[in-house]
Amino acid sequence: MQNKESFSDEELAIRSQQGGMADFEELAKRYWPRLHRFLLTYGNDAFASDITQETLLRAYQKISYYHPKKTFAPWVFTIARNLALNSLKRSKRKAEVTMDDNFSESNQEIENDYEIGIMWSKAKQFLSKTAYGSLRLYYGEELTIKEVAFIMGKSEIAIKVILHRSRKKLAEYFKSNPIKL
Amino acid sequence: MSIKSILQNKPCSEAEKQVIEKLRHEANLEKIASSQSKKHGNEVSQFLDLIKDESKPDRKIKNNNRKSTFYLPRLAFASFSLCIASFLIFKGFEKPEEKKWIQDLSLIEDLVELEFQPDLGFMENINLENFTWEKPSVDLNLILTPIADFGSLFTDIEIVPPFNPYFDPVQNLPNRLIPSEFWDFKENTEEDFENFRDSIPFLNEIFSV
């Protein structure tokens, strides 16, 4: 029997469509940390965990809708982004006090048992959600421009411009505040 | 920075290249760290338990049952609307001005009761065989009257259901008639009263005064 780790994401997704529970488990293990890191764009650690769980649950329930000829990552990242934005809209409607979010942000280091890099932390601080998300998907998750554009709901040109501006902004910041890796 | 270079995705300065390198380097470190993270491991195992639970057949049946209750309010609203619509269609409605004849009728009847033995021969014209005086097993008044009252809140038309128990006795006379007979009776009333008045000489004198 072939080891699950040797399968590509797309192969695992197709096998999951045919009812392979173990194949989806492997997908969940692969995508949990990736989705969690991406979802930190939209909120704190608890928010990212909740939406990651919801995303994978939704992907599991709707795996039959996945198109086998397309790559799996954009599909699942798009679900994650849509769920995150919906959740933010709901919380705005409920007029939740943002103090809770700030409090959780400050405790992020304690909640996570691994550290987010300084560059990424600063990027989150200075960039918009769209810019940080695009940067995370392109440089962090190594997706293509086309895939990033699909996930973020923008044109490829818009994503290129966003990435360029983000790089420039970060370069200017780190020029005046140099850091060592 | 030219638009062309942006569209070709070329990092233009050394500073930007360094930023990209650092971002990629940190992202790789994060990947390694998160793959060894116990917290993520626990969360993933919890999630896997959840989907295993979700895929159990018992769970699916429960979910289906929960979904079916969602249609109850809709069903209740639809049947309520149907009741109102059918009531308005079959029982009709009447403008308040058209009730004037009922007042005339009651005035004359009062007069007759006080001074004369009424000759109610005109009542023979009414087909009494079609009256249903028996009390029905389910009193529709209890259902239709609140609906009629509710319906009249939204229109300036006064709904006059023949089943209304609060009608005065004269109006209540055709209580159990079917609608067509009720309206026939109403149309012939004035003529019947003229005949009735003519048959009693005293009444002619009173009306002429």
pLDDT at B93: 56
pLDDT at B4: 58
Q: In the predicted model, is pLDDT for residue A174 greater than 50?
A: yes
Q: Is B52 left (phi over 0), alpha (psi -120 to 50) or beta?
A: alpha
At A60, which helix (H) or strand (E)? helix A45-61
pLDDT at B139: 61
pTM for this one? Answer: 0.55
Nearest CA in chain A to B56: A21
Contact A21 B52 (CB under 8 A): yes
Stronger pLDDT, B114 or A159, i.e. the higher one? A159
Contacts of A179 in chain B (CB under 8 A): 22
Residue segments in chain B with a per-residue pLDDT below the cut of 70: 1-12, 55-70, 90-142, 151-190, 192-193, 196-197, 199-209
pLDDT digits (tens, 9 = 90+) for A82-140: 999 998 888 877 755 444 444 444 444 445 556 677 888 888 888 888 899 998 899 88
Contact A33 B31 (CB under 8 A): yes
Distance in angstroms between the alpha carbons of the first and the last residue of chain B: 109
Amino acid identity of residue B140, one-letter, is L
Stronger pLDDT, B113 or A159, i.e. the higher one? A159
Q: In the predicted model, is pLDDT for residue A24 greater than 70?
A: yes
CA of B72 vs chain A CAs: smallest distance (Å): 26
Nearest CA in chain B to A28: B44
Contacts of A115 in chain B (CB under 8 A): 33
DSSP secondary structure string for all residues of B15-83: HHHHHHHHHHHHHHHHHHHHHT-HHHHHHHHHHHHHHHHHTSHHHHHHHHHHHHGGGHHHHHHHHHHHH
User: With contact defined as beta carbons under 8 Å apart, do A171 and B19 qualify?
Assistant: yes
Interface residues from chain B to A (CB-CB < 8 Å):
1, 6-7, 9, 11, 13, 15-16, 18-20, 22-27, 29-31, 33-40, 43-44, 47-48, 50-52, 54-55
Percent of chain A with pLDDT over 70: 85
Q: In the predicted model, is pLDDT for residue A179 greater than 80?
A: no
